[in-house]
Structure 1
Amino acid sequence: MAGLPQLTRGICARLANSENEDSEELFNSQPTLQLLSFKKVPPTGGGNNVDRYRVIVSDGEHFLQSMLATQLNHLVEEDAIGKGAVAVIEKFTCNIVQGKRLLIILALRVLVKTTEKMGSPGPVQGRPEGGASTPAAETPGPSTSTNITPAPPAAAAAQAPRQQTQANRNGRAAAIYPIESLSPYQNHWTIKARAMNKSDIRTWVNQRGEGKLFSVTLMDDSGEIRATAFNAAVDLFYDKIQEGKVYLISKAKVNLAKKKFSNVNNEYELTFERNTEVEECLDVTDVPTVKFNFVPISGLQDVAKDATCDIIGVVKEVGELSTITSKATSKVIPKRELTVVDRSNYAVRVTLWGKQAEQFEATDQPVIAFKGVKVGDFQGRSLSMMSSSSMHMNPDIPEAHALRGWFDAAGSDQTFQAHTSTFTGGGGITFDRAEVRNLNEVKTAEFGMSDKPEYFCAQATIMHIKNDTISYPACPSQGCNKKVVELGDSWRCEKCDKSYPKPQHRYMVSMAVSDYSGQAWFSGFNDVGETIFGMPADELVDIRERDDSQFNQVVERAIGTTYNFACRAKQDSYNEATRVRYAINRIMPLNYREETKYLANILTHSDWAR
């Protein structure tokens, strides 16, 4: 075929018959091959949630089964390559799966997006010198996909050969495997990876005994994998492995990843054992630094609650160190909140925990890149560091330099918007002006009458506030909030088992709200009261004790104000009577700009406008 690139004839036979002991010349040859067909291999569970693509490649004489590395999936999904494409295979490895050679394509350069089949390729018949034969398969045609039963994905990365070599401690050349190719079905491998996100040492005690562990994320140019060390291995490797450094690692155990403990995008994970070898590598030229996929702070509203993401911003405010008490373990955990802003003119609260919160020091409002932080919805979108998250202060990347210049030139004098117009309420309901329900609809639809709570959004005006039980005396300890009892000159908290000279009052508001369709009673706690009264509960209680008329004026000022609400409807029983209570999860003042846009959109698309 005139005008088409020449395929590298004979390469499929050489790859099918190659031995692991061959020189690396073959694996650095960058052959030109034709991709005859693609077949998606769906996830198989066990923590693997990524599709894979099986490909038949041809050199015009023979064809081989191959697999695209997951980082190349987008080429198929975005239609950058099609059936019959011709490409230079810039980086690859070969695996042995069920006695057959499987080519793993790690990088390629497309020469022709799609064309007819070139030559008359057939299967490679066998291997010389008694090697395992490759069973014949049906020759793929130009217009039909090849019908080849895929090997189990768990075994699809067994026995990977070298991509490069590195002298090991015995002076011999060690085969360097890409992280992408690791699987439980291979024993002899060495990876060259950068250590990232090393956790603190954590301990546990249960009925089976006690122990300790730490984890670290390892990364090379093919992907990343989480590694965990337990007990004796912690003593061996914790001090040896330092974040940011590159290591040659071998003889670790490969297992299926436990996704509830990790957000690393790999179906496998490593376990360091006593015989695991970890050796620092000074040649770091081919190992990448941290890879980020930044989301602008304004875009956090489009990220699902409890998902993880990467952001970069300038630290505008640093909160004081505080503590909370874990409900599960009763341990006191240090925390610190940062306010981070970016060029989208939004701000977000980022919470640091433990030693990171205690040791955080920042001057001159640094630029920080956060990787793998968890998205929350407390009082609008918020972010929280996890054990697998990492924080990089003033990183040497283009995004950081651009942010520094913007903030120093103009950003430091700007005002920033928090995520309050869109938020996730309890039950995963996202506030959307178009989804607001009127109060009559909430009642007639019998929200809250089922066994489980139900959630809805409403826009209503405060008509009346009960002012006789507007607050309660609470424990002043951080994170407690339990009601305290007055005993003589002190206030007693049974939960904390402590007495305090005075309580900290917290709001407990019950109010009648109304819209055009009807009225309902809503109840809310401290954040609701602070929003509608504009002051802490202690201050309002002090006003009530000093001046009843001033107290009544404060309450009356809140009457007639309209808010957006996210509520939970749940029935309960009291004195053998069953009723539905509407509890406020979130309250927000109206954003009149958003209201105007919403109403204008209704008018634009209404039948009347047409």
Structure 2
Amino acid sequence: MWTVYTSIKDITSKTKNWKIKMIVAEKSPKRISQRTAVKYQNLILIDKEGNRVQATMFGTDIDPRENTLKILQSYYIIDAYVKPVDPKYKIGEYQYQWTLNSKTIIEEVPQNEEQIDAPKYEIIPFKDLEAYRGSIGEIDILAVAIKIKPTKEITTASGPTTIQEIYVIDESLNPICLTMWGRFVQDECQKISDIIEDKPIILGTKISVGSYNGLSLSSRPSSTFIINPLLPEAAAMKRWAENNDLIIRSIIARSLTYPSAPLSSVGIREIVKNCDIAGLIKGLQPMAKAKFWIKAKVNVIDITQVFYYMSCIGCNKGTGYKYNESFVCMYCKNQGVCKPRARAYVELDDNTGKLAATMFGEVAEQALGCSAVELMERAGEENPPYVKRIADKLSKKIWKIQVYADPEKLKEKKYRQFNVLSIEAVQDEENAGSSC
């Protein structure tokens, strides 16, 4: 029989047969120790009184609990291994740390039983960040991630390291650059990158406020990040982001479509050559994705292609419903109206190589110079002169083009196209000279 405790202060390395209700406040990604090459995962657990303890799982004890110990859920922890904590790693008054091994019993607290309240975060809205600029204090933020830039290798006083910049926004509608350092790039940034198009909600704790390119944010070694946390504040921010989707898209298009430059110098873009892109993609880390700027002509190779598809107006997913027909989307689950969405399969040619690419939505409409409805009504095999005029006009200009690459999909025969994220006319062919 276990003795049930309510406070971790009553549990020491000499306590036997104990049981306590805890909530998972933080859970790091799985990591590899640089010194021992052993896989580990850290958690912060909080008891009913608000006391915190760091718990760690190692090696083969991690994966069997992949679908348990979820953040902000309550569990009974029974007989973890307890040992004194190194003072420099102590996160509160508690003098011990726990190891959750194969002998530790972990039970989810039943829904009909009292749960432990989620920890309180002192979230600072972006409009109040100026007061923390350059201070030694660390703050908590809750924001929408709207743009992520490629990783960078830099050299600091401590040696080389990797950083990645994420642009985040809150109700102030003022995007701010959050720089992630070191281990956060491999773990949290990768997860955020995979779902960036969904505009995930990010809870960051122990964040520093700096002055890089104006007001900026930066991770610290002690920082933690929770993606889409199960908090009322996060749910409210998600609803706000959905209700202001068009405004946020406009901010991204106006200010954040230049991944190689900060907000203070958005006119600067690193143009790469098509012939170099294959090598750049090969150099990416596993599961990484990339965005590049190129300067090229856009050629429509097949003028008989269908330049649109019928889609849900809410999520842009394809559907079999007809134009203006009302339906419940099987993807976003919302009541929507079926509309055509522009799509064009093209070839990007910069004289060093050719890339097969796909343009969607507003980007395709901008390049082709007509709306999706016009494409539905006039393009295709039935009207080749109309399509030819569009294709000829498109190919007579030089364009600055941002392309997106998913190396894993490029390996598949079915998906050997790049996606065009943005496009901007530079000059007509007759004035192009040696621009390509």
Q: TM-score, normalised by structure 2?
A: 0.44
| Structure showing greater Rg | 1
Whose RCO is larger (CA < 8 A, sep 6+)? 2
Structure with greater proportional helix content: 2
